[in-house]
Structure 1
Protein backbone atom coordinates (compact mmCIF):
# COMPACT_ATOMS: atom_id res chain seq x y z
CA UNK A 1 0.00 0.00 0.00
CA UNK A 2 2.79 2.43 0.89
CA UNK A 3 4.67 1.57 -2.28
CA UNK A 4 1.68 1.71 -4.65
CA UNK A 5 -0.36 4.54 -3.10
CA UNK A 6 1.48 6.74 -0.60
CA UNK A 7 4.79 7.37 -2.38
CA UNK A 8 3.32 8.01 -5.87
CA UNK A 9 1.00 10.63 -4.32
CA UNK A 10 3.93 12.20 -2.47
CA UNK A 11 5.87 12.44 -5.75
CA UNK A 12 2.91 14.11 -7.47
CA UNK A 13 2.67 16.64 -4.63
CA UNK A 14 6.39 17.43 -4.91
CA UNK A 15 6.18 17.81 -8.69
CA UNK A 16 3.20 20.17 -8.49
CA UNK A 17 5.14 22.44 -6.16
CA UNK A 18 8.44 22.14 -8.01
CA UNK A 19 8.43 20.45 -11.45
CA UNK A 20 12.25 20.51 -11.42
CA UNK A 21 12.44 18.22 -8.37
CA UNK A 22 12.75 15.19 -10.63
CA UNK A 23 14.39 14.68 -13.99
CA UNK A 24 12.66 12.15 -16.24
CA UNK A 25 13.90 10.29 -19.25
CA UNK A 26 13.37 12.60 -22.24
CA UNK A 27 11.11 10.15 -24.05
CA UNK A 28 8.98 9.64 -20.93
CA UNK A 29 8.72 13.39 -20.29
CA UNK A 30 7.71 14.24 -23.86
CA UNK A 31 5.31 11.33 -24.17
CA UNK A 32 3.47 12.10 -20.92
CA UNK A 33 3.31 15.80 -21.79
CA UNK A 34 1.81 15.03 -25.19
CA UNK A 35 -0.78 12.73 -23.61
CA UNK A 36 -1.67 15.45 -21.08
CA UNK A 37 -2.12 18.05 -23.82
CA UNK A 38 -4.45 15.74 -25.72
CA UNK A 39 -6.42 15.06 -22.54
CA UNK A 40 -6.96 18.74 -21.77
CA UNK A 41 -8.05 19.45 -25.35
CA UNK A 42 -10.51 16.56 -25.17
CA UNK A 43 -11.85 17.77 -21.81
CA UNK A 44 -12.35 21.41 -22.76
CA UNK A 45 -12.82 21.32 -26.57
CA UNK A 46 -11.40 24.87 -26.95
CA UNK A 47 -12.45 25.33 -30.58
CA UNK A 48 -16.04 24.51 -29.64
CA UNK A 49 -15.87 26.91 -26.68
CA UNK A 50 -14.70 29.75 -28.93
CA UNK A 51 -17.37 28.96 -31.52
CA UNK A 52 -20.15 28.77 -28.93
CA UNK A 53 -19.13 32.00 -27.20
CA UNK A 54 -18.96 33.84 -30.52
CA UNK A 55 -22.42 32.56 -31.43
CA UNK A 56 -23.97 33.49 -28.06
CA UNK A 57 -22.35 36.95 -28.15
CA UNK A 58 -23.71 37.56 -31.65
CA UNK A 59 -27.25 36.65 -30.50
CA UNK A 60 -26.96 38.99 -27.49
CA UNK A 61 -26.33 41.89 -29.88
CA UNK A 62 -29.50 41.17 -31.85
CA UNK A 63 -33.19 41.98 -31.21
CA UNK A 64 -33.38 43.70 -27.82
CA UNK A 65 -37.15 43.28 -27.57
CA UNK A 66 -37.17 39.49 -27.87
CA UNK A 67 -34.30 39.08 -25.43
CA UNK A 68 -36.21 41.01 -22.76
CA UNK A 69 -38.59 38.07 -22.37
CA UNK A 70 -38.31 36.12 -19.16
CA UNK A 71 -36.53 32.77 -19.16
CA UNK A 72 -39.83 31.30 -18.02
CA UNK A 73 -41.01 31.78 -21.61
CA UNK A 74 -38.47 29.26 -22.87
CA UNK A 75 -39.10 26.95 -19.95
CA UNK A 76 -42.65 26.50 -21.18
CA UNK A 77 -41.40 24.82 -24.35
CA UNK A 78 -41.53 27.94 -26.53
CA UNK A 79 -39.06 28.67 -29.30
CA UNK A 80 -37.53 32.13 -29.50
CA UNK A 81 -36.80 33.38 -33.04
CA UNK A 82 -34.33 36.19 -33.62
CA UNK A 83 -33.13 37.08 -37.13
CA UNK A 84 -31.45 33.95 -38.55
CA UNK A 85 -31.56 32.05 -35.26
CA UNK A 86 -34.09 30.24 -33.16
CA UNK A 87 -33.44 28.62 -29.85
CA UNK A 88 -35.09 26.78 -27.02
CA UNK A 89 -34.12 25.05 -23.79
CA UNK A 90 -34.15 21.32 -23.17
CA UNK A 91 -34.55 20.56 -19.48
CA UNK A 92 -34.78 17.45 -17.35
CA UNK A 93 -36.48 17.96 -14.00
CA UNK A 94 -37.01 15.85 -10.90
CA UNK A 95 -39.95 15.72 -8.56
CA UNK A 96 -40.23 18.59 -6.11
CA UNK A 97 -39.41 17.71 -2.51
CA UNK A 98 -41.25 19.26 0.45
CA UNK A 99 -40.07 22.82 1.09
CA UNK A 100 -38.36 23.22 -2.30
CA UNK A 101 -39.06 26.02 -4.72
CA UNK A 102 -40.09 25.23 -8.28
CA UNK A 103 -36.72 26.59 -9.49
CA UNK A 104 -34.83 23.89 -7.56
CA UNK A 105 -35.81 20.86 -9.58
CA UNK A 106 -33.53 21.15 -12.62
CA UNK A 107 -31.24 18.17 -13.28
CA UNK A 108 -30.11 19.06 -16.79
CA UNK A 109 -30.42 22.35 -18.63
CA UNK A 110 -29.31 22.64 -22.28
CA UNK A 111 -29.61 25.60 -24.61
CA UNK A 112 -30.30 24.48 -28.19
CA UNK A 113 -29.39 27.00 -30.90
CA UNK A 114 -30.71 26.36 -34.43
CA UNK A 115 -30.65 28.19 -37.74
CA UNK A 116 -33.84 29.66 -39.20
CA UNK A 117 -34.69 26.29 -40.81
CA UNK A 118 -34.61 24.68 -37.37
CA UNK A 119 -31.41 22.74 -37.96
CA UNK A 120 -29.38 22.43 -34.76
CA UNK A 121 -26.18 24.50 -34.77
CA UNK A 122 -24.97 23.76 -31.25
CA UNK A 123 -26.12 22.59 -27.84
CA UNK A 124 -24.72 24.36 -24.77
CA UNK A 125 -24.92 22.66 -21.40
CA UNK A 126 -25.60 25.08 -18.56
CA UNK A 127 -24.12 24.19 -15.18
CA UNK A 128 -26.31 26.35 -13.00
CA UNK A 129 -28.50 23.43 -11.91
CA UNK A 130 -30.76 24.57 -9.09
CA UNK A 131 -29.41 28.14 -9.43
CA UNK A 132 -31.37 28.81 -12.64
CA UNK A 133 -33.60 31.83 -12.07
CA UNK A 134 -36.50 31.78 -14.52
CA UNK A 135 -37.43 35.34 -13.54
CA UNK A 136 -34.32 36.65 -15.28
CA UNK A 137 -34.48 37.82 -18.87
CA UNK A 138 -33.25 35.67 -21.74
CA UNK A 139 -30.53 38.24 -22.40
CA UNK A 140 -29.28 37.99 -18.81
CA UNK A 141 -29.25 34.21 -19.13
CA UNK A 142 -27.26 34.38 -22.37
CA UNK A 143 -24.74 36.73 -20.78
CA UNK A 144 -24.26 34.25 -17.95
CA UNK A 145 -23.63 31.48 -20.48
CA UNK A 146 -21.15 33.71 -22.33
CA UNK A 147 -19.29 34.35 -19.06
CA UNK A 148 -19.24 30.62 -18.29
CA UNK A 149 -17.78 29.85 -21.72
CA UNK A 150 -15.17 32.58 -21.24
CA UNK A 151 -14.26 31.16 -17.82
CA UNK A 152 -13.88 27.63 -19.27
CA UNK A 153 -11.71 28.96 -22.08
CA UNK A 154 -9.47 30.82 -19.62
CA UNK A 155 -9.15 27.66 -17.52
CA UNK A 156 -8.12 25.72 -20.61
CA UNK A 157 -5.45 28.28 -21.50
CA UNK A 158 -4.09 28.29 -17.94
CA UNK A 159 -3.86 24.51 -17.74
CA UNK A 160 -2.27 24.27 -21.19
CA UNK A 161 0.30 26.90 -20.23
CA UNK A 162 1.15 24.99 -17.06
CA UNK A 163 1.67 21.81 -19.07
CA UNK A 164 3.71 23.38 -21.87
CA UNK A 165 5.82 25.87 -19.94
CA UNK A 166 6.04 24.52 -16.38
CA UNK A 167 5.65 20.76 -16.95
CA UNK A 168 2.83 20.58 -14.42
CA UNK A 169 0.94 17.56 -15.66
CA UNK A 170 1.93 14.66 -13.44
CA UNK A 171 -0.93 12.78 -11.78
CA UNK A 172 -1.10 9.61 -9.71
CA UNK A 173 -1.95 7.49 -12.77
CA UNK A 174 0.95 8.97 -14.76
CA UNK A 175 3.63 8.68 -12.08
CA UNK A 176 2.70 5.18 -10.86
CA UNK A 177 4.38 3.14 -13.66
CA UNK A 178 7.68 4.92 -13.03
CA UNK A 179 7.56 5.04 -9.23
CA UNK A 180 6.92 1.28 -9.03
CA UNK A 181 10.48 0.65 -10.20
CA UNK A 182 12.00 3.39 -8.04
CA UNK A 183 15.44 1.75 -8.15
CA UNK A 184 15.68 2.57 -11.87
CA UNK A 185 16.75 6.21 -11.61
CA UNK A 186 17.15 6.53 -15.38
CA UNK A 187 13.35 6.78 -15.59
CA UNK A 188 12.82 9.09 -12.62
CA UNK A 189 15.86 10.82 -11.16
CA UNK A 190 15.48 12.95 -8.00
CA UNK A 191 17.18 16.36 -8.19
CA UNK A 192 16.00 18.47 -5.28
CA UNK A 193 17.01 17.77 -1.69
CA UNK A 194 13.46 16.84 -0.72
CA UNK A 195 13.05 14.52 -3.70
CA UNK A 196 16.32 12.75 -2.92
CA UNK A 197 15.32 12.26 0.72
CA UNK A 198 11.90 10.86 -0.20
CA UNK A 199 13.33 8.49 -2.85
CA UNK A 200 16.00 7.30 -0.40
CA UNK A 201 13.30 6.63 2.22
CA UNK A 202 11.22 4.83 -0.41
CA UNK A 203 14.12 2.60 -1.38
CA UNK A 204 15.03 1.87 2.25
CA UNK A 205 11.45 0.86 3.08
CA UNK A 206 11.27 -1.40 0.04
CA UNK A 207 14.58 -2.98 1.07
CA UNK A 208 13.30 -3.61 4.59
CA UNK A 209 10.03 -5.07 3.27
CA UNK A 210 12.02 -7.30 0.93
CA UNK A 211 14.23 -8.58 3.75
CA UNK A 212 11.19 -9.25 5.98
CA UNK A 213 9.43 -11.18 3.22
CA UNK A 214 12.58 -13.18 2.50
CA UNK A 215 12.96 -13.94 6.21
CA UNK A 216 9.42 -15.30 6.48
CA UNK A 217 9.82 -17.35 3.29
CA UNK A 218 13.04 -18.87 4.64
CA UNK A 219 11.42 -19.48 8.02
CA UNK A 220 8.41 -21.15 6.42
CA UNK A 221 10.63 -23.42 4.34
CA UNK A 222 12.67 -24.35 7.40
CA UNK A 223 9.54 -25.25 9.37
CA UNK A 224 8.25 -27.29 6.46
CA UNK A 225 11.52 -29.22 6.29
CA UNK A 226 11.35 -29.97 10.04
CA UNK A 227 7.79 -31.25 9.68
CA UNK A 228 8.84 -33.58 6.87
CA UNK A 229 11.79 -34.93 8.89
CA UNK A 230 9.52 -35.44 11.91
Structure 2
Protein backbone atom coordinates (compact mmCIF):
# COMPACT_ATOMS: atom_id res chain seq x y z
CA UNK A 1 0.00 0.00 0.00
CA UNK A 2 2.97 2.30 0.61
CA UNK A 3 4.86 3.41 -2.51
CA UNK A 4 8.66 2.90 -2.45
CA UNK A 5 8.98 6.66 -2.95
CA UNK A 6 6.33 7.41 -0.31
CA UNK A 7 7.11 9.71 2.60
CA UNK A 8 5.65 10.52 5.97
CA UNK A 9 6.04 14.13 7.09
CA UNK A 10 5.22 15.33 10.57
CA UNK A 11 6.01 17.76 13.36
CA UNK A 12 8.46 16.85 16.12
CA UNK A 13 7.60 17.53 19.79
CA UNK A 14 9.43 20.88 19.48
CA UNK A 15 7.60 21.80 16.27
CA UNK A 16 10.25 21.02 13.66
CA UNK A 17 9.37 19.28 10.39
CA UNK A 18 10.62 15.69 10.20
CA UNK A 19 10.52 13.37 7.20
CA UNK A 20 10.54 9.57 7.03
CA UNK A 21 11.16 7.69 3.82
CA UNK A 22 9.28 4.51 2.95
CA UNK A 23 11.89 2.21 4.44
CA UNK A 24 11.90 4.01 7.81
CA UNK A 25 8.11 4.22 7.90
CA UNK A 26 7.72 0.49 7.20
CA UNK A 27 10.31 -0.30 9.88
CA UNK A 28 8.16 1.61 12.34
CA UNK A 29 5.09 -0.41 11.32
CA UNK A 30 6.94 -3.68 11.91
CA UNK A 31 8.22 -2.49 15.30
CA UNK A 32 4.70 -2.01 16.65
CA UNK A 33 2.70 -4.67 18.42
CA UNK A 34 -0.39 -5.95 16.56
CA UNK A 35 -3.43 -3.69 16.87
CA UNK A 36 -6.12 -5.94 15.38
CA UNK A 37 -8.18 -6.24 18.57
CA UNK A 38 -11.39 -4.34 19.24
CA UNK A 39 -9.58 -2.15 21.77
CA UNK A 40 -7.99 -0.45 18.75
CA UNK A 41 -10.10 -1.34 15.73
CA UNK A 42 -13.22 0.29 17.20
CA UNK A 43 -11.56 3.68 16.57
CA UNK A 44 -10.58 3.00 12.96
CA UNK A 45 -12.57 4.73 10.25
CA UNK A 46 -12.35 6.19 6.78
CA UNK A 47 -13.55 9.76 7.16
CA UNK A 48 -13.50 10.65 3.47
CA UNK A 49 -12.07 9.66 0.09
CA UNK A 50 -11.83 11.84 -3.01
CA UNK A 51 -10.68 10.55 -6.40
CA UNK A 52 -9.50 13.46 -8.55
CA UNK A 53 -8.79 11.49 -11.70
CA UNK A 54 -7.57 8.04 -12.71
CA UNK A 55 -4.10 8.73 -11.27
CA UNK A 56 -4.57 10.69 -8.02
CA UNK A 57 -6.74 10.54 -4.91
CA UNK A 58 -6.65 11.48 -1.25
CA UNK A 59 -8.17 10.07 1.92
CA UNK A 60 -8.70 11.16 5.51
CA UNK A 61 -8.57 8.23 7.91
CA UNK A 62 -8.30 7.58 11.64
CA UNK A 63 -6.41 4.68 13.19
CA UNK A 64 -5.61 3.75 16.78
CA UNK A 65 -2.22 2.19 17.48
CA UNK A 66 -0.50 0.77 20.56
CA UNK A 67 2.60 2.25 22.14
CA UNK A 68 5.81 1.60 20.20
CA UNK A 69 8.94 2.13 22.25
CA UNK A 70 11.15 0.52 19.60
CA UNK A 71 9.78 2.48 16.66
CA UNK A 72 11.93 5.03 14.75
CA UNK A 73 9.38 7.52 16.12
CA UNK A 74 8.67 6.02 19.56
CA UNK A 75 5.40 6.54 21.39
CA UNK A 76 4.93 5.86 25.09
CA UNK A 77 1.17 5.34 25.09
CA UNK A 78 -1.62 4.19 22.77
CA UNK A 79 -2.39 6.89 20.23
CA UNK A 80 -5.22 7.90 17.92
CA UNK A 81 -3.93 9.22 14.59
CA UNK A 82 -5.75 11.27 11.98
CA UNK A 83 -3.99 10.82 8.64
CA UNK A 84 -4.24 12.77 5.42
CA UNK A 85 -3.06 10.40 2.69
CA UNK A 86 -2.29 11.22 -0.93
CA UNK A 87 -2.36 8.26 -3.33
CA UNK A 88 -1.03 7.93 -6.86
CA UNK A 89 -1.77 5.17 -9.32
CA UNK A 90 1.49 3.57 -10.37
CA UNK A 91 1.08 1.71 -13.69
CA UNK A 92 2.88 -1.33 -12.26
CA UNK A 93 2.12 -1.22 -8.53
CA UNK A 94 -1.41 0.19 -8.65
CA UNK A 95 -2.76 2.62 -6.06
CA UNK A 96 -0.10 3.46 -3.46
CA UNK A 97 0.32 6.07 -0.72
CA UNK A 98 2.87 8.64 -1.86
CA UNK A 99 2.63 11.03 1.10
CA UNK A 100 1.16 11.16 4.58
CA UNK A 101 0.75 13.95 7.11
CA UNK A 102 -1.01 13.41 10.41
CA UNK A 103 -2.10 14.63 13.81
CA UNK A 104 -2.34 12.55 16.97
CA UNK A 105 -3.84 12.49 20.46
CA UNK A 106 -3.37 9.97 23.28
CA UNK A 107 -5.95 7.19 23.34
CA UNK A 108 -7.74 6.64 26.64
CA UNK A 109 -8.62 3.19 27.97
CA UNK A 110 -12.24 4.29 28.19
CA UNK A 111 -14.55 5.53 25.46
CA UNK A 112 -12.82 8.69 24.23
CA UNK A 113 -9.36 10.17 23.77
CA UNK A 114 -7.78 11.82 26.80
CA UNK A 115 -7.38 14.92 24.71
CA UNK A 116 -9.87 15.79 22.00
CA UNK A 117 -8.88 17.15 18.60
CA UNK A 118 -7.58 20.70 18.68
CA UNK A 119 -10.13 23.27 17.55
CA UNK A 120 -9.73 24.67 14.05
CA UNK A 121 -10.96 28.27 13.82
CA UNK A 122 -11.75 30.60 10.90
CA UNK A 123 -8.45 32.32 11.66
CA UNK A 124 -6.62 29.03 11.06
CA UNK A 125 -8.37 28.66 7.69
CA UNK A 126 -7.43 32.22 6.76
CA UNK A 127 -3.75 31.72 7.57
CA UNK A 128 -3.51 28.44 5.69
CA UNK A 129 -5.35 29.81 2.66
CA UNK A 130 -3.05 32.84 2.62
CA UNK A 131 -0.08 30.49 2.39
CA UNK A 132 -1.76 28.63 -0.48
CA UNK A 133 -2.94 31.65 -2.47
CA UNK A 134 -0.51 34.45 -1.72
CA UNK A 135 2.66 32.43 -1.20
CA UNK A 136 2.34 29.28 -3.31
CA UNK A 137 0.09 30.44 -6.15
CA UNK A 138 1.60 33.93 -6.03
CA UNK A 139 5.13 32.59 -6.44
CA UNK A 140 4.02 30.41 -9.33
CA UNK A 141 2.27 33.24 -11.12
CA UNK A 142 5.30 35.51 -10.64
CA UNK A 143 7.64 32.73 -11.87
CA UNK A 144 9.66 33.49 -8.76
CA UNK A 145 11.65 30.45 -7.71
CA UNK A 146 13.16 32.21 -4.70
CA UNK A 147 9.73 33.12 -3.37
CA UNK A 148 8.50 29.58 -3.97
CA UNK A 149 11.43 28.26 -1.92
CA UNK A 150 10.07 30.22 1.05
CA UNK A 151 6.85 28.15 1.11
CA UNK A 152 7.94 24.89 -0.59
CA UNK A 153 9.93 23.12 2.12
CA UNK A 154 13.54 22.13 1.27
CA UNK A 155 12.63 18.46 1.80
CA UNK A 156 9.34 18.68 -0.13
CA UNK A 157 8.85 16.87 -3.42
CA UNK A 158 6.53 17.13 -6.40
CA UNK A 159 5.15 13.74 -7.43
CA UNK A 160 2.86 12.65 -10.23
CA UNK A 161 1.94 9.45 -12.05
CA UNK A 162 3.03 8.84 -15.62
CA UNK A 163 3.00 5.92 -18.03
CA UNK A 164 6.57 5.20 -16.92
CA UNK A 165 5.75 5.21 -13.20
CA UNK A 166 5.64 7.74 -10.39
CA UNK A 167 7.89 10.74 -11.06
CA UNK A 168 9.57 12.48 -8.10
CA UNK A 169 11.01 16.00 -8.39
CA UNK A 170 12.91 17.59 -5.51
CA UNK A 171 12.55 21.10 -4.15
CA UNK A 172 15.47 22.67 -6.01
CA UNK A 173 14.41 21.25 -9.37
CA UNK A 174 10.78 22.23 -8.73
CA UNK A 175 11.67 25.84 -7.88
CA UNK A 176 13.82 25.97 -11.01
CA UNK A 177 10.81 24.86 -13.06
CA UNK A 178 8.77 27.65 -11.48
CA UNK A 179 11.35 30.25 -12.50
CA UNK A 180 11.59 28.93 -16.07
CA UNK A 181 7.89 28.20 -16.61
CA UNK A 182 7.24 30.27 -19.71
CA UNK A 183 10.51 29.34 -21.42
CA UNK A 184 9.67 25.62 -21.22
CA UNK A 185 8.76 24.16 -24.66
CA UNK A 186 5.34 23.02 -23.43
CA UNK A 187 4.31 26.48 -22.21
CA UNK A 188 6.32 28.94 -24.32
CA UNK A 189 3.76 29.13 -27.18
CA UNK A 190 1.23 30.47 -24.66
CA UNK A 191 3.43 33.09 -23.01
CA UNK A 192 1.19 35.84 -24.43
CA UNK A 193 -1.58 34.66 -22.06
CA UNK A 194 0.82 35.15 -19.17
CA UNK A 195 1.83 38.58 -20.45
CA UNK A 196 -1.84 39.57 -20.78
CA UNK A 197 -2.51 38.42 -17.21
CA UNK A 198 -5.15 35.86 -18.17
CA UNK A 199 -3.18 32.61 -17.88
CA UNK A 200 -4.48 32.17 -14.35
CA UNK A 201 -8.16 32.81 -15.05
CA UNK A 202 -9.04 29.24 -14.05
CA UNK A 203 -7.10 29.28 -10.75
CA UNK A 204 -9.36 28.00 -7.95
CA UNK A 205 -8.98 26.70 -4.42
CA UNK A 206 -11.17 23.61 -4.38
CA UNK A 207 -10.81 22.63 -0.74
CA UNK A 208 -8.89 22.76 2.52
CA UNK A 209 -9.00 19.77 4.90
CA UNK A 210 -7.49 19.84 8.39
CA UNK A 211 -6.35 16.69 10.20
CA UNK A 212 -8.28 17.62 13.38
CA UNK A 213 -5.40 19.97 14.16
CA UNK A 214 -4.86 23.62 13.13
CA UNK A 215 -1.27 22.90 12.06
CA UNK A 216 -1.89 20.01 9.62
CA UNK A 217 -3.84 20.54 6.40
CA UNK A 218 -4.32 19.34 2.84
CA UNK A 219 -5.18 21.93 0.19
CA UNK A 220 -6.71 21.11 -3.19
CA UNK A 221 -6.42 23.67 -5.96
CA UNK A 222 -6.73 23.98 -9.70
CA UNK A 223 -4.16 26.11 -11.46
CA UNK A 224 -3.71 26.78 -15.16
CA UNK A 225 -0.46 27.05 -17.06
CA UNK A 226 -1.66 26.76 -20.68
CA UNK A 227 -1.99 24.41 -22.37
CA UNK A 228 -2.27 22.44 -19.12
CA UNK A 229 -4.78 22.69 -16.28
CA UNK A 230 -3.28 21.18 -13.14
CA UNK A 231 -4.98 19.88 -10.01
CA UNK A 232 -2.60 20.07 -7.06
CA UNK A 233 -2.77 18.40 -3.67
CA UNK A 234 -0.61 20.34 -1.22
CA UNK A 235 0.24 18.62 2.06
CA UNK A 236 0.94 21.42 4.50
CA UNK A 237 2.33 21.79 8.02
CA UNK A 238 2.56 24.87 10.19
CA UNK A 239 5.95 24.70 11.93
CA UNK A 240 6.68 27.31 14.59
CA UNK A 241 4.00 29.62 13.22
CA UNK A 242 4.98 29.29 9.55
CA UNK A 243 3.08 27.29 6.92
CA UNK A 244 5.08 25.07 4.58
CA UNK A 245 4.13 22.90 1.63
CA UNK A 246 5.83 19.63 2.62
CA UNK A 247 4.60 17.48 -0.29
CA UNK A 248 2.85 18.16 -3.57
CA UNK A 249 1.16 15.76 -5.97
CA UNK A 250 -0.46 16.72 -9.26
CA UNK A 251 -2.62 15.50 -12.07
CA UNK A 252 -3.54 17.42 -15.21
CA UNK A 253 -5.68 17.74 -18.29
Question: Do the two structures share a fold, i.e. TM-score over 0.5?
Answer: no
TM-score tier by shorter-chain length is: under 0.3
When normalised by structure 2's length, the TM-score is: 0.22
Higher strand share: 2
Higher helix share: 1
**Structure with higher RCO (Cα < 8 A, 6+ apart):** 1
